[in-house]
Structure 1
Amino acid sequence: MDRAPGLSVRLKLTLSYAGFLMPAGILLLAAVWVFLLRYVPDRALIVSADTPLHGVFPIRSNLLRVFAPRAAAVLAFLLVFGLGGGWILAGRMLAPLTRITDATRRATSGSLSHRIRLPGRKDEFRELADAFDAMLARLEAHVAEQRRFAANASHELRTPLAISKALLDVARTDPHHDAGEVIDRLHAVNTRAIHLTEALLLLSRAEQRSFTREPVDLSLLVEEATETLLPLAEKHGVTLETSGDITPTIGSQALLLQLTTNLVHNAIVHNLPEQGTVWVNTGVRPKTVVLTVENTGEKLTPELVSTLTEPFRRGTERLHTDHAGVGLGLAIVKTITRAHDGTLTLTPRSAGGLLVTVELPVEPPTTTPHTDG
Structure 2
Amino acid sequence: MDREPGLSVRLKLTLSYAGFLMTAGALLLAAVWVFLLRYVPERATLINHDDDSTNGVFPVRSGLLDVFAPRAVAVLAFLLVFGLVGGWILAGRMLAPLTRITDATRLASTGSLSHRIRLPGRKDEFRELADAFDKMLSGLEAHVAEQQRFAANASHELRTPLAISKALLDVARTDPNRDVGELIDRLHAVNTRAIDLTEALLLVSRAEQRSFTRERVDLSLVAEEATETLLPLAEKHGVTIETCGDITPAVGSPALLLQLTMNLVHNAIVHNLPEQGTVWVNTGVRPKTAVLTVENTGEQLTPRLASTLTEPFQRGTERLHTDHAGVGLGLAIVKTITQAHDGSLTLTPRSAGGIRITVELPAKSPH
Name the TM-score, length of structure 1 as normaliser: 0.92
The secondary structure found in structure 1 opposite 2:14 is: helix
| 1:104-160 CA-partner distances (Å, limit 9, x unpaired) | 111111111111111222111111111111111111111111101100110010111
User: Percent identical across equivalent pairs?
Assistant: 85
Taking the TM superposition and a 5 Å limit, the aligned residue runs for 1:97-176 are: 97-176=98-177
Distance 2:47 2:127 in 1: 63
Aligned 8 A contact 2:22 2:80 in 1: yes
- How far apart are residue 51 of structure 1 and its match? 6.7
Distance 2:182 2:320 in 1: 22
My pick for the range that moved more, 307-316 or 128-137, is 307-316
Distance 1:195 1:293 in 2: 23
User: What letter matches 1:334 in structure 2?
Assistant: K
Question: Which residue in 2 is equivalent to 1:34?
Answer: 34
Question: Which residue in 2 is equivalent to 1:24?
Answer: 24
User: What letter matches 2:70 in structure 1?
Assistant: P
Question: Which residue in 1 is equivalent to 2:15?
Answer: 15
| 1:78-107 CA-partner distances (Å, limit 9, x unpaired) | 011001110111011111111111111111
User: What letter matches 1:209 in structure 2?
Assistant: R
Distance 2:47 2:189 in 1: 120
Distance 1:41 1:266 in 2: 100
Return closer, same or farther for 1:47/1:106 CA change in 2, 3 Å cut-off. farther
- How far apart are residue 33 of structure 1 and its match? 2.0
The secondary structure found in structure 2 opposite 1:345 is: strand
Question: Which residue in 1 is equivalent to 2:338?
Answer: 337
Aligned 8 A contact 1:308 1:314 in 2: no
Structure 2 segments unaligned to the other structure (5+ residues): none
Aligned 8 A contact 2:47 2:54 in 1: no
Distance 2:100 2:265 in 1: 50
Question: Which residue in 2 is equivalent to 1:304?
Answer: 305
Return closer, same or farther for 1:200/1:51 CA change in 2, 3 Å cut-off. farther
My pick for the range that moved more, 24-33 or 195-204, is 24-33
Taking the TM superposition and a 5 Å limit, the aligned residue runs for 1:171-190 are: 171-190=172-191
- How far apart are residue 286 of structure 1 and its match? 2.2
The secondary structure found in structure 2 opposite 1:309 is: coil
Question: Which residue in 2 is equivalent to 1:81?
Answer: 82
Taking the TM superposition and a 5 Å limit, the aligned residue runs for 1:1-373 are: 1-41=1-41, 44-45=44-45, 50=54, 55-56=58-59, 59-314=60-315, 323-366=324-367
Structure 1 segments unaligned to the other structure (5+ residues): 367-373
Q: Which has the higher strand share?
A: 2
Aligned 8 A contact 2:219 2:249 in 1: yes
Aligned 8 A contact 2:305 2:318 in 1: no
Aligned 8 A contact 1:18 1:86 in 2: yes
Aligned 8 A contact 1:277 1:295 in 2: yes
Aligned 8 A contact 2:14 2:91 in 1: yes
- How far apart are residue 364 of structure 1 and its match? 2.5
Distance 2:47 2:216 in 1: 96
- How far apart are residue 262 of structure 1 and its match? 0.2
User: What letter matches 1:44 in structure 2?
Assistant: A
- How far apart are residue 322 of structure 1 and its match? 5.4
Distance 2:321 2:297 in 1: 21
Question: Which residue in 2 is equivalent to 1:370?
Answer: none
The secondary structure found in structure 2 opposite 1:228 is: helix
The secondary structure found in structure 2 opposite 1:41 is: coil
Distance 2:99 2:86 in 1: 19
Aligned 8 A contact 1:276 1:295 in 2: yes
User: What letter matches 1:33 in structure 2?
Assistant: W
- How far apart are residue 246 of structure 1 and its match? 1.3
Distance 1:264 1:230 in 2: 10
| 1:148-199 CA-partner distances (Å, limit 9, x unpaired) | 1100110010111000111111011111111111111100000000000101
Aligned 8 A contact 2:289 2:362 in 1: yes
Name the TM-score, length of structure 2 as normaliser: 0.94
Give the total of aligned pairs.
Answer: 363
Distance 1:165 1:321 in 2: 26
Cα RMSD over matched residues? 1.9
- How far apart are residue 317 of structure 1 and its match? 5.5
Distance 1:21 1:136 in 2: 41
| 1:196-218 CA-partner distances (Å, limit 9, x unpaired) | 01011111111111111221111
